Amino acid sequence: MIEQVTVIANASYPLEGILTLPDSQAIKVPAVVFVHGSGPLDKDETIGANKPFRDLAEGLAKKGIASLRFDKRTYTYGKQMIQELGGSLTVEEETIQDAIFASRMLKTDPRVDANRVFMIGHSLGGMLAPRIDAEGGDFAGLVILAGTLRTLEEVIIEQNEVSLKQLEESQREMASQQIQALKDKFDSIAGMSEETAQQSLLFGAVYAWYLKEMHQHPVKEYLSNINKPVFVLQGDKDVQVSVERDFNQYQAILKDHPNASCKLYPGLNHLFMKAIYGTLKDIWEEYNVPQTVDETIIEDIAKWIQSV
């Protein structure tokens, strides 16, 4: 069963959402809030020809779990937010405020068990999950899909360096210079004042303050201090985050956590679908092949939620 809803954490930015409820609905079902990866994404987290949040929502509903997904603020109001906030935009306005509000929405729905509202964060959403929880999400547990504990700069530079190796030799010199220029920009962020960072455009519509503000809220610290259930999932063919530098780091930090699980899935990419090419240079070609989230992912998340 699907209901159209509106997420209004900020009156200037009402967001279209979908509440998905199990058809054979028990009283007080568990529920999840979906939190997107980076970039302006819709409620289904449409990437190329694929809609991972829709797949997860529909799959979880069949297993008795409700969910709330909604358009990202920058998807609906990107130009308006750039005009109004400019370089002061952070993940607070882009992501965190709406995720916290969505959690509260679910907890006040009489059909949902307010003590069993979870968060499923993908990519940047997974990275931010412990911070969102600490700042007021107050979830029963966190599901982190293809997250990272590194800074966004580290991930971006690594992706660029991997892509560089996959280029033709004739293209490498210019690309290498561009990567070095980006590194230099990133290195300068630490010494910037807040005001300077809000005036320093890095690339696209991303200002230095967007990254510097995240440095002030290290996700490793939030994760290290968390005492609630955590489930970390990653595909071993994910070319956007690393098994060695991301998944293994989650395992290391959570190794003594009494209620944390980490699971690596063979053959799956960043969208938890079958990897086709397995290279960064072909990633958009891969994402433009229509697929669905692997059924094992849905089964494992559902089992984990039902066990908490």
State pLDDT tens for residues 249-274.
999 999 999 999 999 999 999 999 99
| Region label for 93, one of left (φ > 0), alpha (ψ between -120 and 50) or beta (otherwise) | alpha
Reported in sequence order, the residue ranges of the chain that DSSP labels E, i.e. its strands, are: 2-7, 15-20, 29-35, 66-70, 112-122, 142-145, 201-203, 206-207, 230-235, 260-265
Cα–Cα distance measured from residue 98 to residue 192, given in angstroms and rounded to the nearest whole number: 28
Strand partners, 92: none
The pLDDT of residue 284: 92
The pLDDT of residue 7: 98
Cα–Cα distance measured from residue 232 to residue 264, given in angstroms and rounded to the nearest whole number: 8
SS3 169: helix
Average pLDDT score over the chain = 94
Cα–Cα distance measured from residue 205 to residue 222, given in angstroms and rounded to the nearest whole number: 27
CA 134 to chain centre: 16
The string of pLDDT tens digits covering residues 194-238 is: 999 999 999 888 999 999 999 999 999 999 999 999 999 999 999
The pLDDT of residue 254: 97
pLDDT band with cut points at 50, 70 and 90 for residue 181: confident
The pLDDT of residue 106: 98
Q: What is the pTM of this model?
A: 0.95
The pLDDT of residue 161 is above 80: no
The pLDDT of residue 174 is above 90: no
Does a structural domain hold residue 179? Answer: no
The pLDDT of residue 203: 86
Residue 69: name the closest of 85, 51, 87 by CA.
Answer: 51
pLDDT band with cut points at 50, 70 and 90 for residue 139: very high
Cα–Cα distance measured from residue 88 to residue 82, given in angstroms and rounded to the nearest whole number: 9
Residue 80 is part of which domain span? 2-150+217-307
The string of pLDDT tens digits covering residues 48-107 is: 999 999 999 999 999 999 999 999 999 999 999 989 999 999 999 999 999 999 999 999
Write down how long the chain is: 308
The pLDDT of residue 121: 98
The total of structural domains in the chain comes to 1
Under a CB-based contact definition with an 8 Å cutoff, are residues 50 and 290 in contact? yes
Residue 147's Cβ-side half-sphere holds a number of Cα atoms within 13 Å equal to 29
CA 136 to chain centre: 17
> Whole-angstrom distance between the N-terminal and C-terminal Cα of the chain?
24
Cα–Cα distance measured from residue 150 to residue 245, given in angstroms and rounded to the nearest whole number: 8
Task: Please list, in sequence order, all residues whose beta carbon lies within 8 angstroms of the beta carbon of residue 74, skipping any fewer than 6 positions away.
Answer: 39, 40, 81, 94
Handedness of CA 75, 76, 79, 80 (dihedral sign): negative
Does a structural domain hold residue 262? Answer: yes
Strand partners, 201: 207
pLDDT band with cut points at 50, 70 and 90 for residue 8: very high
Cα–Cα distance measured from residue 229 to residue 254, given in angstroms and rounded to the nearest whole number: 10
Which of 131-145, 158-172, 184-198 is predicted with the least confidence, judged by mean pLDDT? 158-172
Cα–Cα distance measured from residue 14 to residue 52, given in angstroms and rounded to the nearest whole number: 23
Strand partners, 66: 31
The pLDDT of residue 30 is above 70: yes
The pLDDT of residue 125: 98
Cα–Cα distance measured from residue 8 to residue 13, given in angstroms and rounded to the nearest whole number: 7
pLDDT band with cut points at 50, 70 and 90 for residue 25: low
Active site residues: 123, 238, 270
DSSP-derived secondary structure letter, 248: H
pLDDT band with cut points at 50, 70 and 90 for residue 36: very high
Does a structural domain hold residue 203? Answer: no
At 140, which CATH number?
3.40.50.1820
